[in-house]
Amino acid sequence: MRVPKLRSAASRTPARLPGLTFGSVSSLLSVALWAAFWILALLTLATLILFIVMAFVPMGPMGLTATSDDGGTSVPVPRAYILFGIGAFAGYFGGFTLILRHLRRIVNTLRIGDPFEPANTGRLRQIGIILAVVTGGAWLGQSLVSRLVRGALEAPGLFDLVTPAFSVLVVFVLAEVFKEGARLRRESELTI
């Protein structure tokens, strides 16, 4: 009769979650996050290069032509407005690139069967902070642009922040859930 060996808590590997094999939802999600990450990273790089070119390469005056039933009107657009817009897009794309980077790392821990890794708590908190900054920045940018074009664009209201603020809260709650999951996992590893 064989007696099963008892392994110490330190030598135990986390149990793999069922269904996390090749072709599973997490694998497809990992591929989708990888593709979205690189698309946004390239868009961020392109907007940064465009920003640098627009900032340092001398160019002629730029104008925006608005057409209507009675003809067209050419409105000069200051270089600062264009740089502000390009910079805003670079920040927006860059923020979501960072969010996708953290999501990819979280999904990778899920794929190896260890989603309650303590680092995921920090990743979720960083996602929440980035999401709050990007959302607040986009709202402020829309407010500024609506004031600059004076009536051509409606200013965003505070109600426009309800859904993004709720999303940020959900991410912070998930971070606390992952923190508690990591604590419970640590306790279970210490018990025999």
Q: Whose structure tokens read 């794309």?
A: 93
- pLDDT score at 104: 93
- pLDDT score at 9: 45
For residue 126, the Cα-to-chain-centroid distance in whole angstroms is 9
Mean pLDDT for all residues in the chain: 81
Question: Mind listing the pLDDT tens digit for each residue in 21-67?
Answer: 555 777 888 899 999 999 999 999 999 999 999 888 877 767 666 56
Q: Give the C-alpha distances (Å, rounded to integers) separating 121 from 49, 85, 90, 94, 174.
A: 34, 33, 27, 21, 8
- pLDDT score at 17: 47
- pLDDT score at 55: 85
- The larger pLDDT score, comparing residue 12 to residue 176, is at 176
Question: Mind listing the pLDDT tens digit for each residue in 83-122?
Answer: 888 888 999 999 999 999 999 999 998 888 888 888 999 9
Q: What percent of the chain has pLDDT over 90?
A: 36
